[in-house]
Amino acid sequence: MESSSRAVRPARFSTTPSTSTPVSFWHPFRAVRGSRVARIIRQLRRRHVKLKREWATLAVATAAIAASTIHDRAAAQEPRRGGTLVELVISEPAHLVSPFGGSSTVHEASSKVFDTLLFERDGNYEPRLAERWTVAPDGKSFTFHLNRTVRWHDGKPFTAADVAFSLQEIWKKFGGNVAFSRIARVETPDPHTVIFHADEPVAPQLLLSTVGSYQGAVLPKHVYEGTDYRSNRANRAPIGTGPFRFKEWLPGQYLVFERNADYYRQPFPYLDRVIVRVERNAATRSAALESGAAHLAVRSPVSLRDLPRIAQIPSLAYSSVGSEHAGWHQLMEFNTQREITKNRAVRQAIAYAIDKKKLLDVVFVGRGKVATGPIPSSIPTYTADVATYPFDPKKAETLLDREGYTRNADGSRFTLNFVIGAYFETGLQSVEIIRQNLADIGIKTNIHTPDIAAFTRRVYKDYDFDITISNSVAFSEPGTGTFAWLWSKGIVPGVPFRNASRYSNPEMDEVIEAALREQDRNKRLALIHQFQKIAARDLPILYLIEMDQINVYNKRVRNVGNNPRWYYTSWEDVWLEQ
């Protein structure tokens, strides 16, 4: 099959950037250099003033930039170029290159700088770095014809060699990705054509969706070749092909991305720059949004209980639209290699013991759904025809008694090490309900709340836990990540958000492997349904809540949430009403 679109207008290219340019400490408000705003900001950076005053100054500076591009509000509904968008994030990324893995903040930032071969939207595919592509009838080769007008941010031409290098040296070695592991070799018959060859059939949806996600970000061969890929300085000062160029990173405070004037997809992007501010405190994030110091924060950045008040603020809005195909779960992983939690009946007992409806109502204020398995109900491949575990403490106790875990003299049965991943405030808030639920059936818990870096190491490298609360994101194509949580080949020590439970079941592996090969859409859907049924039966992971992901934003920001995985996209079409 073949896909194509009308060619985009070629862009003019700059040849001035250099890969040897050091990480800049240029200030995002240089546009008003010499003004009182700029002098104030320089003083703030030298004196390390308190956070409240820093936000107030940022609000003034943002207003000064916006004032320089004010247009007639009568035409505000037409996209306008210009302006600086200030986004708030909860945590600082470890690096800025998605194929090396990491938190959502990594992928959000990386998607602004790097483009992919194509873009997946609602199960359809749009050209990006590839203008068109074909899939062989046997599913064993994928040919991509590249856009000849694309250049890297340092002015070097983008070629098939970059794609081949990214696949062979980065995607296959570091991503732990199901789709890329199926590709045996790469052919580049000319600088603008690349062919992926597989020894066995690869499901077209699997491969195309993966190269169209942040996992398929193409990296520059001339920057990475011959270096230690993981420690290359470009991981923190990236050179991409995307709509925004990296400009500056002041650790602990902010990142700055500037408009790529030579972007091959003109007239995008509309924004002049994006400033990503790190703010870990929910109350401070709320205050910054309300004051106008920031325009946007994604993925439930404020207390859910604060949303009714925010709804009354004329300048602000919030919505969960834009995350339907990037659905978040709160989940509990069981270490299936530990003596107690390797027992499926014990895992099922714990599932019955947890009051998931109470978690939803109390912790999530009803914003979400009780989950049933690894694929959220907002994704087309979801099935509700799986085993479920409604709140039933008596049934939980019966299962434990039957397995020989009877109560001791003090009423307890055993103790589990419970490690909490505090990616969201809701993770910590859920602990007390779960702890009490487990205590009610005689299970004691030792609670551990390491920071994110320590949690990642402890759970995904050292496997030092019995049970853990964490989060996962599921895309419309399960092969882009969901399968890896429950596939034996997803056990990759040190790679986060993979099979930390170390669950290994030949039956599950066979179903996943078949889904990776199947060319017929209906047969493949049946396999994905079977995958969900086995996951719910064996329960190496208890999926607790489908979490609504709330974007809070100033109403001047346009095109928020305009595709089902919006916060993982480039925001090339986001603009500010002036």
Asked if 17 and 153 count as a contact pair (C-beta separation under 8 A), the reply is yes
Write out the two tokens for 459: 């759970």
Give residue 208's pLDDT: 96
Compute the distance between CA of residue 398 and CA of residue 384 in angstroms, rounded to an integer: 26
Length reported for the chain:
578
Kindly list the strands in the beta sheet with 254-259, ordered across the sheet, starting from the edge strand earlier in the chain. 244-250, 254-259, 273-278, 84-89, 296-297, 551-554, 316-319
Give residue 567's pLDDT: 87
In Å, what is the CA distance from 56 to each residue of 36, 53, 132? 14, 5, 48
Q: What is the domain partition of the chain in residue ranges?
A: 30-93+246-323+550-576, 326-547
Question: 């596939």: which residue's tokens?
Answer: 487
Residue 209: which of 476, 468, 531 has the closest Cα? 476
Please enumerate in sequence order all residues whose Cβ is within 8 A of that of 231, keeping only pairs 6 or more positions apart, or say none: none
Residue 166: which of 120, 123, 129 has the closest Cα? 129
Compute the distance between CA of residue 410 and CA of residue 397 in angstroms, rounded to an integer: 16
Instruction: Count Cβ atoms within 10 A of the Cβ of residue 90 and give its class: 0-12 exposed, 13-18 middle, 19 or more buried.
Output: buried
Greatest alpha-carbon span in the chain: 78
Give residue 176's pLDDT: 61
Please enumerate in sequence order all residues whose Cβ is within 8 A of that of 563, keeping only pairs 6 or more positions apart, or say none: 121, 122, 322, 569
Compute the distance between CA of residue 431 and CA of residue 420 in angstroms, rounded to an integer: 8
CATH of 326-547, one of 3.40.50.2300, 3.40.605.10, 3.10.105.10, 3.40.50.11540: 3.10.105.10
Please enumerate in sequence order all residues whose Cβ is within 8 A of that of 522, keeping only pairs 6 or more positions apart, or say none: none
The answer to whether the peptide bond before residue 189 is cis (omega within 30 degrees of 0) is: no
Give residue 19's pLDDT: 35
Write out the two tokens for 461: 């490298």
Rg (CA), the chain: 24
Tell me the pLDDT of the chain (578 aa) as tens digits.
Answer: 444 333 333 333 233 333 333 333 233 333 333 444 344 334 434 433 343 444 444 443 433 333 333 333 334 479 999 999 999 998 899 999 999 988 889 999 999 999 999 998 877 899 999 999 999 999 999 999 999 999 999 999 999 999 999 999 999 988 667 889 899 999 999 999 999 999 999 999 999 999 999 999 999 999 999 999 999 999 999 999 999 999 999 999 999 999 999 999 999 999 999 999 999 888 899 999 999 999 999 988 888 888 999 999 999 999 999 989 889 999 999 999 999 999 999 999 999 999 999 999 999 999 999 999 999 999 999 999 999 999 999 999 999 999 999 999 999 999 999 999 877 778 889 999 999 999 999 999 999 999 888 999 999 999 999 999 998 989 999 998 899 999 998 898 988 888 999 999 999 999 999 999 999 999 999 999 999 999 999 999 999 999 998 999 999 999 999 999 898 999 999 999 98
Helices (H) and strands (E) in the chain, counts: 17, 22
Helix extents (H) in 123-237: 160-165, 172-174, 178-181, 204-211, 221-224
Please name every residue paired with 183 in a beta bridge, in sequence order, or none if there are none: 198
Asked if 286 and 553 count as a contact pair (C-beta separation under 8 A), the reply is no
Residue 380, Ramachandran bin (φ over 0: left; ψ between -120 and 50: alpha; else beta): alpha
CATH of 30-93+246-323+550-576, one of 3.40.30.10, 2.40.50.90, 3.20.20.140, 3.40.190.10: 3.40.190.10
Residue 183: which of 169, 166, 165, 202 has the closest Cα? 202
Compute the distance between CA of residue 142 and CA of residue 135 in angstroms, rounded to an integer: 5
